[in-house]
Amino acid sequence: MLISFKRDESELARLAEQIGARWGSVSDAAQHGDVIVVSVPWPAVEEIAAQVQIGDKVLVDTTNQFAGGGVTSIPGGRSAAEYNARRFSTGKLVKAFNTYTSAFQAVGDGRVSEPVAMFLGGEDREAKAVVEGLVRDAGFEPIDLGGWSTIFLMEAPRRTGSVYGESYSPDAARRIASAAATDLNEAARLAQALKQPD
């Protein structure tokens, strides 16, 4: 594993040593792995995109469009995921790992007795299959929410009818994803009705 992008390189080096990884530039990290994971504050995404060449690699976008104390509006009415796919010039972007807090994800499904769904979305079927494996490895059940036309349901902010910030059983999440394919209003209704209590 190779990690990058901390303003303080000595801190990056310490972190790499703690987790048994190497560290390097953003470009080094992008060239190193089979899958690229972008997990930075929204204002830094543009800088990262300018430093990497994705090529045929899968790009996992965990970012949320928070900046300046609020939610950033996306030009052209696009989803944040589609906007980032354009910034990185890739069709292999998959949005995932963005709907739960990092603290919740750190323990996987260990906080609850039943499996927990993890939504993901994107336009490339093969890229999504790769990310589904990563989601399973992290202890969640992957649920494909579709592509750019439905992915906004899993994007910030937390709001009525979205799945962002909510947890679901795999069966409930599959019902939401199935509805989203044909009826976004029904998907939003189910997202509210089927969410697990806090």
Rounded to an integer, the average pLDDT of 97-116 is 76
Q: What average pLDDT does the segment 121-145 reach?
A: 96
pLDDT bucket at 107, cuts 50 / 70 / 90: low
pTM: 0.91
Q: How far apart are CA 161 and CA 100, in angstroms?
A: 16
Strand order across the 35-38 sheet? 35-38, 58-61, 93-96, 117-122, 141-144
**How would DSSP label each residue in 139-167?**
T-EEEE--STTTGGGGSSSP-TT--TT--
pLDDT at 6: 84
User: CA angle at residue 21 from 16 to 23, to 5 degrees?
Assistant: 60
pLDDT at residue 110 tops 70: no
pLDDT given at position 114: 77
Write out the two tokens for 49: 């995109």
Domain ranges of the chain: 1-32, 34-193
CATH of 34-193, picked from 3.40.50.720, 3.40.50.300, 3.30.70.600, 3.40.50.2300, is 3.40.50.720
Average pLDDT of span 39-46: 94
